[in-house]
Structure formats: C-alpha cells, structure tokens
C-alpha cells in the first residue's frame, strides 16, 4: 500500500481494525437515532487514503486528442494516434507543481482505444506507429507519477464503441481482461474510475459489476472504485462544484448486510442511490428519514481546465485562469470532496503552455496561502463543541480551515459558527453547515486577537473540530 506520508499511513493502519463504513439502522429507530448512527459511520482505510489526496489530475488523452472529438465512435484507425513528443514526466511535473497528489488517466475512453498494449483488442497503441508500436502510455504515466510522488489511478470506460460484442456477455469478459491487465501491470492504483456514460446496466447475466469489483479488491485492495462503484460517488456535476451541505454518510433503502461487492441486494440499493446522485439533498436529516442502512460514500467532483475533456487547439483560449481555478479548488477541496481537475495533453503528448502556466500559478498561490498556519504555536482551548485559539496579539486571517476527525468519529457537525475576538468580545464572522473531512471558508480579511469555531448542531456528540487560519497572498496579478 502506498501512502502519502507516514502520518497518513499510521492513521489508516490504526483505524483498519475499527473501520465502520456501514451501519444497519434498527427498525423503529427515530430520526434522531438515525442521525446519531449516521454520525458513527466512518471511512474505510482505502476511502480515507483516497480522501487525503484532495486535489488530483484527471487526464483525458487518446484517440480524441487527434480527431478533435469528445466522443469517438470507435471506427478510428489506430494509426491516428500519433503523439510527436510524448513526455509523461512533463505532465507529472506540472501536476506536482500545482499541488496535485495523484493522476487518473483515461486508459480507455468510450471509443475503445487502449493506451496500453492489450491482449483484449487490436484497437490499441500496439497497432499505432507511436514508438513503432512498442509504446505503452499507461506504463510511462504510471512511472512518471511514481517518480514525482503522485499516486496513479485509471479511468476505464465501461462503454466501448469499438468492440462488436458490447452489450453481450462476451463484453463482460473483454472488460474483465482489460481490468486484469491494468490491475496487474502498473503498480499500485489508488483509484479505479468507471464512467457512468452509457455504462452497462446492472445485470449479473450480462455485465456483472460485482465480479469486476471483486477482481479489483483481489488485485488492488487499496484502490477506491469510483462513480459506478462502492467507494466514491460522483458529486453530480461536471463543474467542480459541491453542495453547500456535502454529507459522506448516506442512506441505503435496504437493510441487507454484507459487502457491496458480495451481496446483490446491497449493491442494488447503492445502485438506486447512485441514480439519485444529482439530487440536491442526499444526506440531511430529511434524506435520512427512510434509511435502512448507512454507508460512507464520499463525493468526488470533476471539471476540465478547458472547455472540453480532450485537448483542441481551438480551445486554448478557454483555459481557466488562476482566479477561477482557485474558486473551484476552495469550493471543492474545501467542500468535503476530492477535486479531479482535468488537464488534457495536446497532440505532442505534452501539457500545453497555457495550462502549465495556470497550474503553476494555482500551485504557487496555494503554497503561499497554506505555508503559514496563523494558529500554530498559539494557546488553544478545545472542547467537544468549541475550538478556541488565542493569537497572543493581533493577526489578520481570511481563510479558515476546519476538519472533523472523520476517521475516528465520522461526520457529525450539522452547523457551526466562526467568531473572532476583537479585543473585547466575540464577533461572528461566518456560519456554515457541514464540515466533514475538510471545510475551508474564504472570508474578508479580519484582524483578531483570537478565533473560535462553535458547533451549533451535531449528530450525537460532536468531538472537536480542528481549526487552522491563513491569509491568502494579496490579490493575484492576472496570470496572462
């Protein structure tokens, strides 16, 4: 298992024995009781490890890069795939520079073209002229990630427009073979991403999702299975946005026991919840009312740095700039989600200059903001419902970074208030709802002698909120 740092490793090992990523609701439980139980649900070690990545690169690269299309029809010739100056190390440097901690690569998009030499199909890099047919994009990206301290994950489209067997049982076997190849040849994967577009229906006779999950558990036990899978949910939009209240403990409508990859009734009930991923309220008390079982199913939000998911020269001017990217970052990473920011390489097989510049600007701003925690070394008073920090003088902050210890206690806070001590009294500066793994507030700069977070409503006993405060560097110059 590859962890980001020793603290993360210790934490994950410590909770491995105690993980409680699901709770059955006793029949007749009151709404208060259900809410309290929801506050007991905690991430599995693999979910916690995934969540700690925070900011991750999504990379759409493949046949569409060379055809100016978003969805290829699978009829393209493999020889169309022809990067002229492929350099995965350049991608990894740009991503690390932005502060990203992992990469999810479209190893196969909907057109079915495989970026690795696959025994399952002729529609792959081995039949292109790139590197004389000896190339393997997946291997080069996985290696570059390792070299630059990034975790590596895969996107494998369940929809395949190239193969003639899509929609039959034979496709199940093709897909499983592709999965097996990806899960055995490229080292540890931290995430396996199953896109929802035109994905095969849940039908064990035709396409047995659960057997794919079991294969991943067997070959990559620490990988999170995302979107169409048990570990990570799609937030419900492709704008990098999060709900104002983003809950990670969510209700299933069946009380069956057992693992999602083993028990079909449980998987069916997660599938039904998946179909509701775009509804505005997934986890409030109202949403919990009919819960029969509660599961930890945290949000991931995806967005492209450009207009499309794939690179096009004509879309260079659409590259999102620092200010917009920072807004997205704060809302997503600071909204109890993992942010997947898509950065598509160009026809050379490199990240284009405008994207590199925007990423560098974001990374520099985040480093400058978070390098100094204004609360470090300050006097603190912590109770279950309030965390107070005394600066010992006046300090100016405009970012408040809050965390619940979800690994130990689950997500409990339903609302909170931030106050500053103005020298004479506490003055409210902000209020908010859920916190979870991480909630970051961006505020107007305020000078204070102290700051506190008061939990005003929670699911059961709140167990202390970690609080840090920062000051963003003064207004960034526009990055080009």
Rounded CA-CA distance 125/133 in Å is 6
- Nearer to ligand FUL among residue 83 and residue 240 (C-beta): 240
- Nearer to ligand FUL among residue 70 and residue 97 (C-beta): 70
- Helix, strand, coil percentages (3-state) for the chain, rounded to 5, are 30, 25, 45
Q: Which of 21, 111, 124, 195 binds ligand FUL (CB under 6 A)?
A: 195
- Interior/surface letters 156-180, b for 16+ CB within 10 angstroms, e for the rest: bbbbbbbbeebeeeebbebbbebbb
- Nearer to ligand FUL among residue 70 and residue 373 (C-beta): 70
302 touches ligand FUL by CB under 6 A: yes
Contact pattern for ligand FUL over residues 50 through 79, marking x by CB under 6 A: --------------------x---------
Contact segment (CB under 6 A) with ligand FUL among 80-88, 195-203, 245-253, 453-461 equals 195-203
- Nearer to ligand FUL among residue 234 and residue 247 (C-beta): 234
- Nearer to ligand FUL among residue 198 and residue 381 (C-beta): 198
| Alpha carbons within 13 A on the beta-carbon side of 140 | 17
Rounded CA-CA distance 455/246 in Å is 17
Contact segment (CB under 6 A) with ligand FUL among 191-199, 246-254, 365-373, 418-426 equals 191-199
Beta strands in 109-199 (DSSP E): 151-156, 191-194
Do residues 173 and 212 touch, judged by C-beta distance below 8 A?
no
160 touches ligand FUL by CB under 6 A: no
User: Residue 476 CB, nearest distance to ligand FUL (Å)?
Assistant: 28
**Separation of CA 49 from chain center:** 11
Q: Which of 95, 113, 186, 309 binds ligand FUL (CB under 6 A)?
A: 309
Rounded CA-CA distance 276/318 in Å is 31
Q: Which of 197, 265, 289, 427 binds ligand FUL (CB under 6 A)?
A: 197
User: How many CB atoms lie under 10 A from the CB of residue 18?
Assistant: 10
User: Residue 364 CB, nearest distance to ligand FUL (Å)?
Assistant: 27
- Nearer to ligand FUL among residue 12 and residue 59 (C-beta): 59
Rounded CA-CA distance 443/445 in Å is 6
User: Residue 134 CB, nearest distance to ligand FUL (Å)?
Assistant: 27
Partners of 23 in the β-ladder: 294
- Nearer to ligand FUL among residue 166 and residue 421 (C-beta): 166
234 touches ligand FUL by CB under 6 A: no
User: Residue 83 CB, nearest distance to ligand FUL (Å)?
Assistant: 19
Rounded CA-CA distance 117/101 in Å is 27
Do residues 15 and 36 touch, judged by C-beta distance below 8 A?
no
- Nearer to ligand FUL among residue 193 and residue 391 (C-beta): 193
Do residues 123 and 74 touch, judged by C-beta distance below 8 A?
yes
User: Residue 70 CB, nearest distance to ligand FUL (Å)?
Assistant: 6
Contact segment (CB under 6 A) with ligand FUL among 10-18, 183-191, 193-201, 451-459 equals 193-201
User: Residue 302 CB, nearest distance to ligand FUL (Å)?
Assistant: 6
Question: Which DSSP state fits 446?
Answer: E
- Nearer to ligand FUL among residue 157 and residue 375 (C-beta): 157
Q: How many residues bind ligand FUL (CB under 6 A)?
A: 6
- What are the residues whose beta carbons fall under 8 Å from the beta carbon of 87, sequence distance 6 or more? 348, 349, 350
- Nearer to ligand FUL among residue 234 and residue 397 (C-beta): 234
Sign of the CA dihedral 358, 359, 360, 362?
A: positive
Which residue number places its CB atom closest to ligand FUL? Answer: 197
Q: Which chain residues interact with ligand FUL by CB under 6 A?
A: 70, 195-197, 302, 309
């Amino acid at each position: 298992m590859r962890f980001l740092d020793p603290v993360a490793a210790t934490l994950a090992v410590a909770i491995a024995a105690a993980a409680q990523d699901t709770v059955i609701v006793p029949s007749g439980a009151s709404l208060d009781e259900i809410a309290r139980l929801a506050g007991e649900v905690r991430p599995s070690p693999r979910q916690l490890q995934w969540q700690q990545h925070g900011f991750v690169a999504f990379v759409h690269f493949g046949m569409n890069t060379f055809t100016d299309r978003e969805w290829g029809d699978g009829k393209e010739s493999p020889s169309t795939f022809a990067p002229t100056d492929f350099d995965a190390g350049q991608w990894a440097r740009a991503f690390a520079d932005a502060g990203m901690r992992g990469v999810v690569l479209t190893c196969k998009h909907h057109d079915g073209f495989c970026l690795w030499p696959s025994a399952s199909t002729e529609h792959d890099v081995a039949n292109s002229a790139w590197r004389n047919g000896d190339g393997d994009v997946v291997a080069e990206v996985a290696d570059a990630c390792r070299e630059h301290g990034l975790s590596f994950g895969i996107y494998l489209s369940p929809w395949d427009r190239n193969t003639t067997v899509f929609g039959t049982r034979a496709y199940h076997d093709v897909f499983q073979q592709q999965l097996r190849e990806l899960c055995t040849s490229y080292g540890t994967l931290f995430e396996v991403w199953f896109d929802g577009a035109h994905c095969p229906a849940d039908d064990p006779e035709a396409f047995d999702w659960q057997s794919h999950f079991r294969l991943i558990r067997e070959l990559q036990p620490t990988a999170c299975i995302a979107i169409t899978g048990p570990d990570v949910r799609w937030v419900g939009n492709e704008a990098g946005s999060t709900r104002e209240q983003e809950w990670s403990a969510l209700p299933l409508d069946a009380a069956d026991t057992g693992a999602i990859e083993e028990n079909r009734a449980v998987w069916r009930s997660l599938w039904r919840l998946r179909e509701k991923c775009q509804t505005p309220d997934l986890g409030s008390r109202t949403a919990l009312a009919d819960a029969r079982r509660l599961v930890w199913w945290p949000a991931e939000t995806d967005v492209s740095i450009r207009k499309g998911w794939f690179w096009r020269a004509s879309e260079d001017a659409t590259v999102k700039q620092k200010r917009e990217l920072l807004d997205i970052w704060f809302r997503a990473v600071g909204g109890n989600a993992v942010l997947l920011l898509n950065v598509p390489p160009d026809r050379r097989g490199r990240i284009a200059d405008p994207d590199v510049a925007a990423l560098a600007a974001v990374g520099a701003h985040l480093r400058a903001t978070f390098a100094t925690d204004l609360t470090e070394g300050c006097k603190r008073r912590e109770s279950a419902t309030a965390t107070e920090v005394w600066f010992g003088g006046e300090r100016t902050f405009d970012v408040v970074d809050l965390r619940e210890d979800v690994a130990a206690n689950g997500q409990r806070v339903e609302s909170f208030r931030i106050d500053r001590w103005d020298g004479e009294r506490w003055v409210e500066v902000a209020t908010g709802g859920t916190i979870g793994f991480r909630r970051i507030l961006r505020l107007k700069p305020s000078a204070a002698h102290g700051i506190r977070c008061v939990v005003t409503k929670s699911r059961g006993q709140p167990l202390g909120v970690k609080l840090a405060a920062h000051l963003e560097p003064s207004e960034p110059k526009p990055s080009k």
